[in-house]
């Protein structure tokens, strides 16, 4: 079932719940769902399990247009409200909120999440004091302390230790039969993108890889001692190199030119790719939008097409060749999905371990 942005924006409250049910409900409760929620040039991913829910990032497009900012915040909250209305067994509780890195397109709506829902665990990797989303992270640290929420600041050097988040992962495995494993964590990089938390999720033989805004190399030579996270994951420093293989790849850095590589795709061998990005044609006086950054990049989308064999229902897509330059419009039939083209994207792994094409809201 398809819905236009105009349809969705006109529906509020209980009516939104009805659309959610029509779009995402199945004959039986899904065993696992990955929800890539459309928050514009930003990122928010909800992982739904039989007995738990985990939110990775809670960003929102940041422009000077208050209406646009509020629209994406409102959509995120309405989406989660509808989710909890369906999953009443979860009692409005997120088992964990994970921040991949402290940039505002991943943190902007964190406070709204912690104020509205119960959160049991907060996981982050730290970051520079002047990072664009650090004010949001600091605010959540205060909330975590006030409410006695379990707090985990994790670093890359720790992930191979047997004791690393052992109780946390064991609870998710025993309660939901889901295996969540961090492959990298905070690295104290000047470029927080390359300190992104990397998480692999496995359920009933299917796997998902979330790499935050990991890049091939450092931007403009900043912090040369840190290095690009994608290359680090591929070299002998990788904590669990065999676990990079995944069925679904959440593509790095909103489809930026520096956010993926052929070597990385050949290691991951994804069947599906998911990008979280804003609409390239949308412009603003502010610089925090897809048109300014050049997302998603046409070269990256073509690279994904060359490395993904699965197909999708044909769709006309819009990509960019460079920041603030030519916009390309063309058809796509490979299994590549973007919130900028598809709206909300929901993958489902059923009880038999099947992983069909996702449902989308556009």
pLDDT digits 0-9 by tens, 312-353:
999 998 887 776 676 778 899 999 999 999 999 999 999 899
The mean pLDDT of 263-272, rounded to a whole number, is 96
pLDDT at 257: 82
The pLDDT of residue 189: 85
Question: Looking at residues 68-90, what average pLDDT do you find?
Answer: 92
Do the Cβ atoms of 291 and 331 come closer than 8 Å? Answer: no
- pLDDT, position 6: 43
Topology (CATH level 3) of domain 5-349: Metallo-beta-lactamase; Chain A (3.60.15)
Task: Give pLDDT tens digits for 162-187.
Answer: 999 999 999 999 999 999 999 999 99
* pLDDT, position 60: 84
pLDDT tens digits, one per residue of 68-77? 668 889 999 9
Q: pTM here?
A: 0.88
> For residue 65, what pLDDT is reported?
56
pLDDT number for residue 25: 46
Cβ(129)–Cβ(156) below 8 Å? no
Q: Please report, for the chain, the start and end positions of each structural domain, with discontinuous segments joined by +.
A: 5-349
Mean pLDDT value of segment 17-21: 45
- What mean pLDDT comes out for the span 95-101? 97
Q: Give the separation between CA 288 and CA 280, rounded to whole angstroms.
A: 11
pLDDT at 289 > cutoff 50: yes
């Amino acid at each position: 079932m398809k819905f236009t942005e105009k349809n969705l924006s006109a529906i509020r409250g209980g009516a939104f719940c009805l659309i959610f049910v029509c779009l995402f409900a199945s004959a039986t409760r899904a065993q696992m769902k990955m929800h890539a929620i459309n928050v514009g040039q930003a990122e928010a991913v909800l992982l739904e399990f039989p007995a738990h829910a985990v939110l990775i990032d809670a960003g929102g497009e940041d422009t000077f247009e208050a209406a646009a900012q509020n629209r994406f915040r409102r959509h995120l909250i309405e989406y989660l409200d509808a989710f909890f209305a369906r999953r009443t067994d979860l009692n409005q509780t997120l088992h964990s909120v994970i921040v991949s890195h402290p940039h505002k397109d991943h943190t902007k709506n964190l406070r709204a999440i912690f104020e509205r829902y119960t959160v049991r665990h907060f996981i982050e990797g730290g970051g520079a004091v002047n990072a664009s989303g650090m004010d949001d992270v600091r605010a959540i640290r205060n909330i975590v302390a006030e409410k006695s929420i379990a707090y985990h600041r994790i670093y890359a050097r720790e992930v191979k230790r047997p004791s690393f988040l052992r109780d946390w992962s064991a609870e998710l495995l025993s309660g939901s039969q889901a295996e969540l494993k961090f492959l990298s964590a905070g690295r104290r990089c000047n470029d927080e993108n390359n300190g992104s938390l990397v998480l692999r999720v496995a359920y009933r033989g299917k796997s998902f890889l979330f790499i935050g805004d990991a890049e091939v190399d450092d931007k403009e030579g900043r912090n040369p001692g840190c290095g690009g996270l994608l290359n680090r994951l591929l070299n002998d420093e990788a904590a669990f190199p065999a676990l990079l293989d995944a069925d679904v790849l959440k593509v790095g850095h909103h489809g930026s030119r520096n956010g993926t590589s052929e070597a990385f795709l050949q290691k991951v061998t994804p069947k599906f790719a998911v990008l979280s990005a804003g609409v390239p044609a949308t412009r603003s006086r502010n610089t925090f939008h897809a048109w300014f950054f050049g997302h998603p990049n046409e070269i990256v989308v073509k690279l994904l097409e060359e490395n993904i064999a699965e197909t999708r229902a044909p769709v006309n897509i819009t990509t960019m060749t460079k920041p603030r330059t030519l916009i390309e419009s063309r058809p796509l039939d490979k299994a590549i999905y973007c919130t900028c083209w598809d709206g909300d994207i929901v993958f489902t792994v059923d009880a038999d371990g099947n992983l069909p094409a996702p449902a989308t809201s556009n």
